[in-house]
Amino acid sequence: MINIGILTAGGDSPGLNAAIRGVGKAAIGEYEMHVVGFENGFRGLVHNRHRTLDSQALSGILTLGGTILGTSRDKPHKMQIGERQLDMTPAIIETYNDHHLDALVCLGGGGTQKNALRLAQHGLNIVTLPKTIDNDVAKTDVTFGFDTALGIATEAMDRLHSTAHSHHRIIVCEIMGHKVGWLALGAGIAGGADVILLPEIPYDVEKVAEAIRSRVRSGKRFSIVAIAEGAMSKDVAPKVWAARAAKDAATNKEEKAAARAELAALERGLKGNTLRLSQQLEEMTGLESRITILGHVQRGGTPSAADRVLATRIGTTCAQYINEGRFGVMVGVAGNSTQPVPLTEVAGHTKYVPVDHDWIKSARLVRTCLGD
């Protein structure tokens, strides 16, 4: 019998349970595999915290948000154990062997893909599934969790319109997206935002203010600004991008530590950026400005129908790959199909919003201000 392990790592995301169910039910019912779930991400492998995922355990979880296995952001090679940060890869390999696993399935975003690749390089048979509300995993058209979060953010934008209109206000709505703007862009377009600010397009606050003043001159005395949490002004963005590039290019521990420290200092300066922008726009336009930060509400709740279908599709494909002996890959989405993508092509890469993407073009054509 083939034995497989499964874990969820990184931030929680709608559709995780649907994906667990997809992998498990196909593995058990179609391929007669034994499935064991490890709790709280990679830490569960270290401490051998596990449970058998049989048909009964997988029943009734399709519509549940979160993850029945729990999750964490622990890295196998840098895990906090007591007062020390240790490489726990040997312990993970030991647990893998103790359970006689033939494969380990890792559900997660960009960080999980990197951690999974490291384990694959140590000889473990790995298959990953791409999840994140940010939709920033490379080499896949879409990640599960994105559609649900997009719907939540869009509904929030719809609700904000009525209060903005009633009080003649600017409403600045912060949407998740630290490095990429897929979620803010999609929700901004679907929710009819007047301004959309993304990490990929540095903004000029004067141009944003002028777009709002132009609306006032045309008789529209309210505006909705959708801003990704990682959006930056044109003065700050080049410095942050240079620091990120320096960190990635560092060749030794000393250089990497220095680059990380510089980047951390710059990113600390970005905290409160949405509030600062709101205050600037109030001063520059004469309109009252209020902020709404959606935060983790975008991660929660029942997954959408689209995410349930997507998670089930890639989950069942994962079981198929394991049965065929395809390892060291992520189950990527390409149109209406799935494809195995080598982890070496995924780990360490980010899917940014191209500045010439069709969504960007459409936003500009309906006269949405992108801050540039």
Q: Within a 10 A sphere around the Cβ of 271, how many other Cβ atoms?
A: 10
Please report the beta strands in the chain, taking only residues with DSSP state E, as ranges in sequence order: 3-8, 34-38, 50-52, 79-81, 84-86, 103-108, 126-130, 169-175, 195-197, 223-228, 288-293, 329-334, 337-342
Q: Which of 12, 87, 98, 134 does the annotation list as catalytic?
A: 134
Distance, in Å, from the CA atom of 138 to the CA atom of 182, rounded to the nearest integer, reads 13
User: Does 358 participate in catalysis according to the annotation?
Assistant: no
Structure-block tokens of residue 41: 């991400």
Q: Is 96 exposed, middle or buried (0-12, 13-18, 19+ CB in 10 A)?
A: buried
Please say whether the dihedral angle defined by the alpha carbons of residues 359, 365, 370 and 372, taken in this order, is positive or negative: positive
What single DSSP character describes residue 367?
A: T
Pairing of strands 329-334, 337-342: antiparallel
Q: How many residues does the chain have?
A: 372
Place of tokens 């149109």: 335
Q: Which residues does the annotation mark as catalytic?
A: 134
